[in-house]
Chain A
Amino acid sequence: MGWARRCFHPACWGETLVEFELEGTEQYALESYQWLLERILIDMGISTMVERAHFVIRPDQTLFIISLKVKQSGGKRPVYDIAEMESREGGTYINIKDESYAPRLLATLWRTYGRERVQQLTRLEIFVDGVPSEEVSDMKLDPDEDVRSQLLDALWRLLPEGLKIRQEIYDHEVMTIVATEHGMTVDFIKEAEKVHNKMIVPEDD
């Protein structure tokens, strides 16, 4: 089956830019899961973040593989771009200017220096204990982190509930999950890896 430029379901027409490749033994299952993924992505507001999706569904073998290629975002943004910093006695005072980055900056600071050293003074003011302002200002915030966790959430919503044995393969821009019911076989993983690699470097049609 070739690339589907748009979802088969009329309700999705005009709303999605995801390219799908469907592979499997049951046409209805493939089309319905394509439609489900479309709706879940739209529901979560992340339909523009996915470039391509590849499904392998074989209910007779209880095999479900889904692979998503994430669209490249604008890249990492340095902290000095989104906040003002001031060296104070014993640490750095940060005043966030771009509110949309506030949660990500706080999470990054917590992860890097620990919760004991990072105090959130107000909604947009943070004090980092014992860290020079130059060090904080050179830190970079990765917008893809949020996208990845949201996509993972979307995939967990999509995967059939009974297929509890799951394995993930992911790299910078492609995320693949292979799921089955009883035992994961080497063949299933190999097939998932094949799909994963094909998503990174698409074969010429």
Chain B
Amino acid sequence: MYEVLMYDGGVHKIEELFDLIEDVGGFVLQKTQVQVMITLTFAIPGEDRPLIQAKASELGGKIIEVPLAGTEIAVIGPTLGRHHMPHPICDIAEHLRRYGAITIVMGLARGRGRKTCQISAAEKAIIEEYDCAIFMLGNFKECITHEKIDLFKDIQIPVVTVVGPEVESLPHCEGLVCGVGRKVERMRRSEEIAKLEEIADRVKDVIGARRKEVEEDPLFVHPSEVKDALDDMDAVQVCLRPAPVVLHVDGLRVKIPYKKHLKELEELEVYGHKLKDIATISDCRLGDSTIIKIRTKAEVEGRVRS
């Protein structure tokens, strides 16, 4: 089982850490260098963590837990209007990034209002491409418990709802955080930061449960192994979009056009298998990207036998 960690330290002798990660069969997921400091997100086999830990101490850096690394999370508001943006939606998205998640912010076209709020099939399909969705639902209890719950009723990924009033429970969602309603300024007070922590904890629980679910029927390869192969593609190397390959719990998002690169992606070799044999490759709902869902070990081996 791979474990995703973050190294924070200086660049001096950093090649030794790169070599060690490679030697233990790990992968560098993200590298951010600012002058002589470097932040490295990497995936390594869980049993080799003490080795990495020792090397990090030797180099004078530290290893940070990033429980949400390797996930892409959507934070969704009723609209993109100034009533909901940038606070608190962007505050939540920003806070989750500190735990290693890649987050996006999304506003529904007609999510505002009580009886008039709605979500389209296209919006649902876009949301379902992510590992987890966080819905911000506002300040009115009556409105949330009677009408807004329909917004995420049919969503097939784990949902965490964030609401203002105290609500005991809500249907159709895996996590609930109360006490964060509409805001007109940044969440920077200690009690607000505690709420952001609570949201992050709830998301960690939900993602943890999703990972366990995946482990029960393990994937044929870990997404970071596919990322390693994808990083060698010319199209990925010349892609100027930030984080051209984004890991999901059960796959990846590659930010290169699906139609143009489908053949190349299908023929990509991962541990002696073509990518089309071990994963489902599909077009992304948000333009010019490709979604790769890795098949489980059972699915791939079953195919080979048949």
Task: Tell me the A residues contacting B by CB distance below 8 Å.
Answer: 11, 25-26, 28-29, 32-33, 36, 39-40, 43, 57, 59-60, 62, 157, 160-164, 181-182
B182 interfacial by beta-carbon distance below 8 Å:
yes
Contacts of B140 in A (CB 8 A): 26, 29, 57, 59, 160
Q: Given A181-B114, A181-B116, A182-B115, is A28 in contact with B83 using a C-beta cutoff of 8 Å?
A: no
B305 interfacial by beta-carbon distance below 8 Å:
no
Is B113 within 8 A of A163, CB to CB?
yes
Is B142 within 8 A of A39, CB to CB?
no
Question: Which residue from chain B places its CB closest to the CB of A39 in the assembled complex?
Answer: B184
Contacts of A62 in B (CB 8 A): 114-115
CB B252 to nearest CB in A, in angstroms, measures 36
Contacts of B185 in A (CB 8 A): 39, 43
Give the residue among A28, A157, A182 with the most B Cβ atoms within 10 A. Answer: A28
Is A161 within 8 A of B184, CB to CB?
no
List of 3 A-B pairs having minimum Cβ-Cβ separation, nearest first:
A162-B113, A59-B140, A59-B142
State in angstroms the CA–CA spacing of A182 and B139 once bound together.
19
State in angstroms the CA–CA spacing of A33 and B139 once bound together.
9
Give the residue among B84, B114, B140, B184 with the most A Cβ atoms within 10 A. Answer: B140
Q: Given A43-B184, A162-B117, A181-B114, is A157 in contact with B82 using a C-beta cutoff of 8 Å?
A: yes
Is A26 within 8 A of B166, CB to CB?
no
B10 interfacial by beta-carbon distance below 8 Å:
no
CB A23 to nearest CB in B, in angstroms, measures 15
A to B contact number (C-beta, < 8 Å): 67
- What are 19 contact pairs spanning A and B, CB under 8 A? A11-B189, A26-B140, A26-B141, A26-B165, A28-B164, A29-B141, A29-B164, A32-B181, A33-B139, A57-B140, A59-B140, A59-B142, A62-B114, A160-B138, A160-B140, A162-B112, A162-B113, A181-B113, A181-B115
CB proximity to A under 8 Å, residues B65-118: 78-79, 81-84, 112-117
Contacts of A33 in B (CB 8 A): 139
State in angstroms the CA–CA spacing of A26 and B143 once bound together.
11
Question: Which residue from chain A places its CB closest to the CB of B189 in the assembled complex?
Answer: A11
Q: Given A26-B165, A28-B164, A60-B142, is A36 in contact with B184 using a C-beta cutoff of 8 Å?
A: yes
CB A13 to nearest CB in B, in angstroms, measures 13
Contacts of B113 in A (CB 8 A): 160-164, 181
Contacts of B189 in A (CB 8 A): 11
State in angstroms the CA–CA spacing of A172 and B189 once bound together.
39
Contacts of A40 in B (CB 8 A): 184
Give the residue among A11, A33, A162 with the most B Cβ atoms within 10 A. Answer: A162
Is B165 within 8 A of A29, CB to CB?
yes
14 extra interchain contacts, Cβ-Cβ under 8 A, other than A28-B141, A32-B182, A36-B184? A39-B184, A40-B184, A57-B140, A59-B142, A62-B115, A157-B184, A160-B140, A161-B78, A161-B112, A162-B112, A162-B114, A162-B116, A163-B113, A164-B113
Contacts of B139 in A (CB 8 A): 28-29, 32-33
Contacts of B79 in A (CB 8 A): 161
Is A25 within 8 A of B182, CB to CB?
no
State in angstroms the CA–CA spacing of A161 and B164 once bound together.
16
Question: Which residue from chain B places its CB closest to the CB of A163 in the assembled complex?
Answer: B113
CB A65 to nearest CB in B, in angstroms, measures 15
Question: Which residue from chain B places its CB closest to the CB of A30 in the assembled complex?
Answer: B139
State in angstroms the CA–CA spacing of A160 and B117 once bound together.
13
Contacts of A160 in B (CB 8 A): 83, 112-113, 138, 140
State in angstroms the CA–CA spacing of A195 and B139 once bound together.
23
State in angstroms the CA–CA spacing of A28 and B113 once bound together.
18
CB B80 to nearest CB in A, in angstroms, measures 10
Contacts of B182 in A (CB 8 A): 32, 36
Contacts of A60 in B (CB 8 A): 142
Q: Given A11-B189, A161-B112, A161-B113, is A59 in contact with B143 using a C-beta cutoff of 8 Å?
A: yes
CB A188 to nearest CB in B, in angstroms, measures 15
State in angstroms the CA–CA spacing of A62 and B113 once bound together.
9
CB A53 to nearest CB in B, in angstroms, measures 16
Could you say which of A11, A28, A39 contacts B181, with CB atoms under 8 Å apart?
A28
CB proximity to A under 8 Å, residues B175-217: 181-182, 184-185, 189
State in angstroms the CA–CA spacing of A156 and B78 once bound together.
17
Q: Given A11-B189, A36-B184, is A28 in contact with B166 using a C-beta cutoff of 8 Å?
A: yes
Contacts of A11 in B (CB 8 A): 189
Question: Which residue from chain A places its CB closest to the CB of B165 in the assembled complex?
Answer: A28
Is A59 within 8 A of B141, CB to CB?
yes
